[in-house]
Structure 1
Amino acid sequence: MNIRFDGQTVIVTGAAHGFGRAIALAFARLGGNVWACDVNRSGLALTEQQALEQGTALKVRMVDVTDREMVRTFVQEAGTGERLDVLVNNAGGVLGQVGRPLEEISEEDWHTIFRVNVDGAFYFSQAAAPLMKARHFGRIVNISSGAGLGVSLTGIQAYASAKAAQIGLTRQLAHELGPWGITVNNVAPGFVRSNPTTERQWESYGEAGQRRLVENIALKRLGTSDDIAAAVLFFASEYAGWITGQVLGVDGGK
């Protein structure tokens, strides 16, 4: 299976570290014209540097995925020439929150997580759809979480709910955009030590908790950001042309 993206324009959100960085670098290695965005300037610079070190290049932009107009402007810039082939909605996370009792959660705590994890994916998909419809081709891949399919290890109510909502958005958009040859799929990662937040989460479990987590995985090991990127590459490739509205759990087996 030879997957290439030569000549294709690819947008990856949340590309300053972890999954987003791995996904952006992978598309660049395979010939994609990659536009990577985040709100983390220093992280984006490192992603750009790593692209150069692997002998490729990508364009980076500071974009707040919760700002609808900023999203629209960025997508129009990336789609200059009226071409946008792949959109990866990876931006998300817990935004520094930790698990707390339900009654302690403020309105802002709840909505902040939804704005990044759900609104951002909606805004980007909304901005990308006209470009994809015009060419009767497109691939949208959303990155959710095992938390959206079950119970979140973080204990954060808004995170579990937002990721479940993003999965619902994936299925709805798959049916709406299918007539234009646009597929919309979802990758639901298991626990991966991919960024500062997951590192803190890992450390919080202690040695015994870490051992239990790994033992509950069928393959008896944690995954990597490259494992997640591989699933995204498949959904974006020609080999997934008749697959849409699907959620792929990439979690080592539960």
Structure 2
Amino acid sequence: MTRQALVTGVVGGIGAAIARRLAAEGHAVTLTDLPGPGLARRSEELGLPAMACDLGDAADVQRLVADLAATGGPPKIVVSAAGGVRGQTGKPVEEVSDNDWHRIFAANVDSAFHLARGVVPSMKASGWGRIVTISSGAGLRPSLTRIQAYCAAKHALVGLTKQLALELGPAGITVNSVAPGFVLSNPSTELQWDSYGPEGQAQLLERIHTRRLGRPEDIAAAAAFFVSDEAEWVTGQVLSVDGGVA
């Protein structure tokens, strides 16, 4: 069955792979990310419509939801892949500014909350909905990024996922999360990987049971399951897609 779907954070490789997978499975996918040439290029590459939005801005999310309802209709599937480290690197906690902290929370947690709040009324009205967050292994354990705000934000996103699942389950809406391991999916992850050097890279791979890094398509496969009809009785779950981590 074709359903309206919204995928956020599509300028990154994981969001793009999810959008491509859902479109291939027949859903009517709309892309969103921050305004700029990156979103336009991704829209052209995937052949899918895009609507720019700063998901950390509650008013802009309200505008996005209204625009979606006025065009293809409100989404019944939402995958929140927006987030990331916002160009930051690890530093001692005493050197972290308030702005650094809040920017990462806005991208990773506020964005998912604002969007869920905006789309849930239409999902409740139809008695069906799928919300998938893309958290991280950093939402389950300390982060390889060494960024305190990123680790805390991903833990918060896992908590938000579980709380929404409890609240929305009676309305026919499932809420689950995919927690990726190390995936080379954007410039930030590539810089992080390069920073380890050959010895650090070998040590990281040694900790992964499958002895390889993740691919965006690995994460897309998990998201596709969570939004499927087969996952009707699966909610409040966090699926680690990390190749097995020791």
Q: TM-score range by the shorter chain?
A: over 0.9
- Tell me which stretches of 4 or more aligned residues in structure 1 moved more than 4 Å: none
TM-score (norm 2): 0.96
Q: Are the counterparts in 1 of residues 65 and 74 from structure 2 also a CA contact under 8 Å? A: no
Q: Which residue of 1 aligns with 2:33?
A: 38
Structure 1: gaps of 5 or more residues: 1-5, 53-57
Which residue of the partner structure matches residue 55 of structure 1? none
Cα displacement (A) at 1:47: 1.8
Shift, 1:40, TM fit: 5.0
Provide the rounded CA distance (Å) in 2 between the counterparts of 1:15 and 1:219: 27
Matching residue of 2:4: 9
Deviations 1:3-47 (A, max 9, x none): xxx420000111112111111111111111111111152222222
Instruction: Indicate which of 43, 48, 53 corresponds to 1:48.
Output: 43
Q: Does 1:19 align with 2:9?
A: no
Which residue of the partner structure matches residue 209 of structure 2?
218
After superposition, the C-alpha distances for 1:166-221 in whole angstroms (9 at most, x for unaligned) are 00000000011111100000000001100000000010000111111111100111
Q: Once superposed, what is the RMSD of the aligned Cα atoms?
A: 1.2
Identical amino acids, percent of aligned pairs? 52
Q: Distance in 2 between matches of 1:105 and 1:17?
A: 25
Aligned to 2:154: 163
Partners of 2:90 and 2:157 lie apart in 1 by 20
Is the 1:9–1:79 Cα contact (8 Å) retained in structure 2? no
Structure 2 gaps, min length 5: none
The two structures have a TM-score, normalised by structure 1, of: 0.93
Residue deviations 1:107-127 (CA, integer Å, cap 9, x gap): 111111111110100000000
Distance 1:78 1:27 in 2: 17
Equivalent residues in 2 for 1:1-254, closer than 5 Å: 6-39=1-34, 41-52=36-47, 58-80=48-70, 83-254=74-245
Cα pair distance change 1:11/1:42, threshold 3 Å? same
